[in-house]
Amino acid sequence: MAETGLRRKLGKAFLLQAGLISVVAVLGVYLAGLVLEEVLVKQALLDEAAYFWRMHDEQK
């Protein structure tokens, strides 16, 4: 027996929402990882440069 129109529409809407939420969640986590990695790498380079120049000045 065929599903009623309302039941089919609700099922499609639920699956569409679940799919979109999944895609947005994955993209959000991926982009947050990229931003966090960029910030951490930049901070590490700044710290390394500061350390280098501190050691350079101490050796003079």
pLDDT digits (tens, 9 = 90+) for 40-50: 999 999 999 99
User: What is the reported pLDDT for 22?
Assistant: 98
**Does 48 fall in a domain?**
yes
Identify the band that residue 3 occupies on the pLDDT scale cut at 50, 70 and 90. Answer: low
**Does 51 fall in a domain?**
yes
- Is the model's pLDDT at 5 over the cut of 80? yes
**Does 26 fall in a domain?**
no
% pLDDT > 90, the chain: 87
Alpha carbon distance 25, 32 (integer Å): 10
Quote the number of domains for the chain. 1
Alpha carbon distance 28, 16 (integer Å): 18
**Does 57 fall in a domain?**
yes
Alpha carbon distance 47, 54 (integer Å): 10
